[in-house]
Structure 1
Amino acid sequence: MSTKNIIFLVLLLFIPVSVAAHFLEWGELIVFITAGLAILPLAAWMGAATEEIAVVVGPTLGGLLNATFGNATELIIALVALKAGLVDVVKASITGSIIGNLLLVMGLSMLLGGLRFKEQTFQPIVARVNAAAMNLAVIAILLPTAMNYTSQGIGEETLQNLSLAVAVILIFVYALTLLFSMKTHAYLYEVGVAENEAEELAAHKPNVLLWTGVLLVCTLFVAVESELLVDSLEVATSQLGLTALFTGVILVPIIGNAAEHATAITVAMKDKMDLSLSVAVGSSMQIALFVAPVLVIAGWIFHQPMDLDFNPFELVAVAVAVLIANSISSDGKSNWLEGTLLLAAYAVLGFAFYFHPVIEGMG
């Protein structure tokens, strides 16, 4: 058994610990920390189960499955937070997921991959398509925010209606990106992926029934742990001296995305930069074009004021992340210095969010 699996098995012990901490009232901080640690292995196994099933059902259906469950952990945490009325934390987690994938994950992948291989290459046309999609995402959250700041007395209902219309367009665009990557231009995406799948198929034939069961059980436990995490979030973060903005932007995305982050970095160190970028950038695109719009629609269903009117500071952070990630990945080559630049940008934004004062209605 690999070291990674042993660590995940040990972390599973935090599931009963977090439940006990909640019912025996050991304190919100202990509940928050143990629930966060319990989510890490569950998210990893959800990802592993999705990949195993994808190997058997083929590239098209497998790609669709990956696209749907790729950020399932984060979506579940966000839906639980949204239902609890923590709209600002949900928006902050969307921001954090985008900048985390584009700067932290891509940065670590390029740095650690670049230390082992002098220069790594990937498809520049794919990088350009992804860049265009991320630019659209920035525009989508820029317009409702700009509309709110340039109009006097604009109603919450008007903002939500605009956000719903934008959300529908973004989901439609997301469906088109799936069609592009899986059908009409699939050959562009098969460089690293096909090779990886061929290796996996040669190694073993996964048990679909077993992995489907794993996926369902993990999803159920993630929902339970998310409930505990969200319930204890406000009290725990104030005890740690953190604002809800910092928690939403930095902590929540790292908890929900840790397994995916590890995958991107591992394949980059095997000189499979195409695959690494498809995980990192693909995850950002999924958050921006699918998860955020789904949360807007869910907010409308739950009667929560969830819209695409983001805090201007968060908007600046997303725009900065998209700008630097696009400029670095546009040439189809990467090295350790470019990875360091992305990590430096993430660190600067992280400190900015840490020192940013509490906003009214947050925390």
Structure 2
Amino acid sequence: MKYQKLIPFILLPFVPLAIAADYLHWGDTAIFITSAIAIIPVSIWLSTAVEKVAVFTGAVVGGLVTALFANATELIIALTALRQGLVDIVEASITGSVLGALLLLLGLGMFTGGLRYKEQTFKPIVARVNGSFMTLAAIALGLPTTVIATSNIVDEIAIRDISVIVSTILIAVYGLTLVFSLGTHSYLYEVGLSDAEEDGETTKSSTTLWLWITVLLVSTVAIAILSDLFVSVIEPETTRLGLTPLFTGVILIPLLSDVAGYVTVIRLSMKNKMDLAVSSVTGDSLLVASFVAPILVLVGQFIGQPITLNFNPFEVIAIAIAVTVANLISFGGRSNWLDGILLIATYMILGVAFYYHPA
């Protein structure tokens, strides 16, 4: 069994440990550590289940399943934090997820793949199309901050209205990208076989399909439970560690919530399947910017925990840097280990800046 498949089983005991730590009152630190580790194997199973269901249900339905559940871990953690009033951390996590996908995730893929292969190629059309959509989404996310910073708008209602309108437009645009990628221009996204298809798991067995649907649902519920435990202690524990809400949201939470993405992209890159790896990364960042972020804004208004797109100006600058660097490196359709290092180094530099940022 490959080491990637062993990770969930090795970390599985932390799931009952996290529940026991809360039930038996072992303290905030024990709950924080065990629940954070427990989220990792469950999120990997969730990601695997999404991939398997997508194979069985075909391109259109599978694409919709992927669109809805690809970032389920991140969305659940963010919604849990939002429900508990941690608005600052949730806002920062939006920025962190975009930075993590475009810089760290893509960088790790190019670096690990580049260690095995001197140079890897992928269809630049996928990177260009998703990169164009991502640029639009980044501009949309940054505009409310720019408007507020360059005017006298301080009224909370005006800020909320701008955020809601922009969020609605972004969700509509994301819906159109699904029509584009799954319907009218699906041929542009035919980037190869998934791991499941490559391994011959294409038999349309209803029993197998329902098994993976069950895994998908159970994993989602488990992540909701573990996220509640993790978020309940994240504020006192990060404060004890000297971490600001900005750093916690931008760096800590995305690193935890997208572990499955790191495993998947590294696995694909090591198999020299960079078409799938790049498509996964660019699709992940687009999903966060044009769907997850707007959903958080709209849900926040509905549950009485208003979150807006009025980010810290440095967050807007960081997103612009990430989009620019990722586009410059990926638009050529070729990558090597040095490209990966450049992306990772950019992420690390921004991470240091966020750590020292007074927020």
TM-score by length of 2: 0.95
What is the identity, as a one-letter code, of the residue corresponding to 2:104?
L
**Residues 1-363 of structure 1 mapped to structure 2, 5 A cutoff:** 1-192=1-192, 194=193, 196=195, 198-201=197-200, 207-357=208-358, 359=359
Alpha-carbon offset, residue 23 of structure 1 = 2.7
Q: Deviations over 1:240-270 (max 9, x none)?
A: 2222211111111111100111101110111
Alpha-carbon offset, residue 153 of structure 1 = 4.9
Cα distance between partner residues in 1 of 2:114 and 2:351: 24
Q: CA separation of 1:201/1:6 partners in 2, compared to 1, >3 Å: closer, same or farther?
A: closer
Alpha-carbon offset, residue 7 of structure 1 = 2.8
Q: Deviations over 1:130-179 (max 9, x none)?
A: 11111112211211111221222521111111111111110111111111
Alpha-carbon offset, residue 196 of structure 1 = 4.7
Cα distance between partner residues in 1 of 2:57 and 2:200: 11
Q: CA separation of 1:208/1:30 partners in 2, compared to 1, >3 Å: closer, same or farther?
A: same
Alpha-carbon offset, residue 82 of structure 1 = 0.7
SS at 2:190 equivalent: helix
The alignment covers a number of residue pairs equal to 357
Q: CA separation of 1:298/1:195 partners in 2, compared to 1, >3 Å: closer, same or farther?
A: closer
Is the 2:107–2:340 Cα contact (8 Å) retained in structure 1?
yes
Q: CA separation of 1:154/1:337 partners in 2, compared to 1, >3 Å: closer, same or farther?
A: same
What is the identity, as a one-letter code, of the residue corresponding to 1:168?
T
Alpha-carbon offset, residue 119 of structure 1 = 1.5
SS at 2:243 equivalent: coil
What is the identity, as a one-letter code, of the residue corresponding to 2:252?
L
What is the identity, as a one-letter code, of the residue corresponding to 1:160?
R
What is the identity, as a one-letter code, of the residue corresponding to 2:180?
F
What is the identity, as a one-letter code, of the residue corresponding to 1:227?
D
SS at 1:73 equivalent: helix
Q: CA separation of 1:198/1:307 partners in 2, compared to 1, >3 Å: closer, same or farther?
A: same
Q: Deviations over 1:175-214 (max 9, x none)?
A: 111111111111121122x465542445765601111111
Cα distance between partner residues in 2 of 1:345 and 1:157: 36
Alpha-carbon offset, residue 5 of structure 1 = 3.3
Alpha-carbon offset, residue 26 of structure 1 = 1.9
Is the 1:55–1:200 Cα contact (8 Å) retained in structure 2?
no
What is the identity, as a one-letter code, of the residue corresponding to 1:199?
E
Deviation larger for 142-151 or 273-282: 142-151
Deviation larger for 109-118 or 228-237: 109-118
C-alpha root-mean-square deviation of aligned residues, in Å? 1.5
Cα distance between partner residues in 2 of 1:143 and 1:202: 45
What is the identity, as a one-letter code, of the residue corresponding to 1:240?
L
Alpha-carbon offset, residue 322 of structure 1 = 0.6
Identity percentage over the alignment? 52
Q: Deviations over 1:266-288 (max 9, x none)?
A: 10111111100111111100000
Is the 2:141–2:289 Cα contact (8 Å) retained in structure 1?
no
Cα distance between partner residues in 2 of 1:18 and 1:198: 35
What is the identity, as a one-letter code, of the residue corresponding to 2:182?
M
SS at 2:309 equivalent: coil
Deviation larger for 147-156 or 115-124: 147-156
Q: CA separation of 1:114/1:310 partners in 2, compared to 1, >3 Å: closer, same or farther?
A: same
Cα distance between partner residues in 2 of 1:255 and 1:5: 18
Cα distance between partner residues in 1 of 2:202 and 2:118: 29
TM-score by length of 1: 0.94
Is the 1:79–1:295 Cα contact (8 Å) retained in structure 2?
yes
